[in-house]
Amino acid sequence: MDQASDPDSQSHLQARKVWAQIELRLCVLFFVLCSLLSCLSAFSVFADLVCQFRVQMAAGLFFFSILAALTFKQNHDWLLLSASLFGLIINLVYVGGCFVPAAASDVSASVPASVASAVSSASAVPTGGALKLLQFNLNSSNDKYGKFYDFVERLKPDVICLEEYGNGWFENLSLSKSAIKTDYPFQISNIRNDNFGIAIFSRYPLKDASIQILGEDHLPSAFARVQVNGTTWSIMATHPPPPLSTELYDLRNQQFVAMADFIKKQSGNFVLSGDLNSAPWSAHFSNFLQSAGLKDSRTGFGLQASWPSNCWILRIPIDHILTSKNIVTKVRRIEEDLGSDHLPVYAELISRP
């Protein structure tokens, strides 16, 4: 008897199809529930942790939506297709903002002169001084000092904001006779043996440089003003704790509130740089941006995920450069792996009067 006509084989094949459909439904249910749970990040540490991975959830649900569409003719599973698309839309609402082009006035500051000349005078951007800034969580256990030296020498930023700045990095960057010390003689730092040392390095003199203790966890943030090409910039480097428990979640959020209060007292060009241990779609991150009057330099430049450096499929954007609303981001990109679990973030910022 032909195996294709064998009733037992047909029954077995049908059972496999049913189980495959059930497994697909369970996967979609899991991703949709995680997507909905992520909407509660303002109230729960678990929801906040889950919401960090909205990009991965969106990718998974996009894949499931394709499968549901391809198999729809056979099984007419409206529930599977609808649930997949529903979950996908939820995540795209949050993630899509990274890909939305900047406003026309911002774009005109970054396009070539030949194109910018075509922009009407009403939307042209009068620009002040420009700032080249490098944001990097060094990783306290990273010892690739030479790789960092060479990278900075090639990039030549005006200001470098560093997190996890410990004794090893202090000895190799500030005490040694490296080019870093020569090229960036102006520094403010707080060296710690844990993962919360902080530093700002600058080619130009620092004014009002200080270590700010913001939040109940008493972690240091570095603050300074620097004048570049006649324009003054207020810069803060910071590193709140990761929300790995309810206590740490509360401490991170308290630091967000304290930083917002500090920033609201400043005027002029303000830049906040750091590993904030939060993706931009966390409710507490959004509240912080609104309260502090800052905007995300990532907008219009795509996802730009920075951690973990060794696993692209799980990578999320938790390293940030946030600016006051008068600042235009001309360039923003993720840089090469320098041995840390974080990737560096580089930005060129323009002051708009």
> Furthest-apart CA pair in the chain: how many Å?
89
pTM assigned to the model: 0.88
pLDDT of 345 > 50? The answer is: yes
Residues 6+ away with beta carbon under 8 Å from 98: 280, 298, 299, 300, 301, 302, 303, 304, 317
Identify how many contiguous H helices and E strands the chain contains and give both numbers.
11, 12
pLDDT of 9 > 80? The answer is: no
Query: Are the C-beta atoms of residues 20 and 64 closer than 8 Å to each other?
Result: no
Q: Name residue, tokens 């040694």.
A: 176
By C-alpha distance, which of 157, 179, 153, 318 is closest to 235? 157
pLDDT of 97 > 90? The answer is: no
Band of pLDDT at residue 108, cut at 50, 70 and 90: very low
SS3 assignment, position 47: helix
Residue boundaries of the structural domains of the chain: 3-98, 102-351
- Evaluate the CA torsion angle 286, 290, 294, 299 in order and state its sign: positive
* Beta pairing class for 269-275 and 231-238: parallel
Question: Which CATH architecture group holds 102-351?
Answer: 4-Layer Sandwich (3.60)
Q: How far, in Å, CA of 93 to CA of 136, rounded?
A: 28
pLDDT of 111 > 50? The answer is: no
- For 282-308, b where at least 16 C-beta lie within 10 A, e where not — what string? bbbbbebbeebebbbbbbbbebbbbbb
- Of the chain, the percentage scoring pLDDT greater than 70 comes to 90
Lowest mean pLDDT among 86-100, 143-157, 190-204, 330-344: 86-100
Supply the pLDDT for residue 102.
65
Distance set, CA 91 to CA 10, 51, 219, 310 (Å): 40, 9, 32, 24
Q: How far, in Å, CA of 233 to CA of 214, rounded?
A: 20
- Evaluate the CA torsion angle 78, 41, 283, 56 in order and state its sign: negative
List helix spans (H) across 5-144: 7-38, 45-51, 54-75, 78-95, 104-110, 113-116
Band of pLDDT at residue 240, cut at 50, 70 and 90: very high
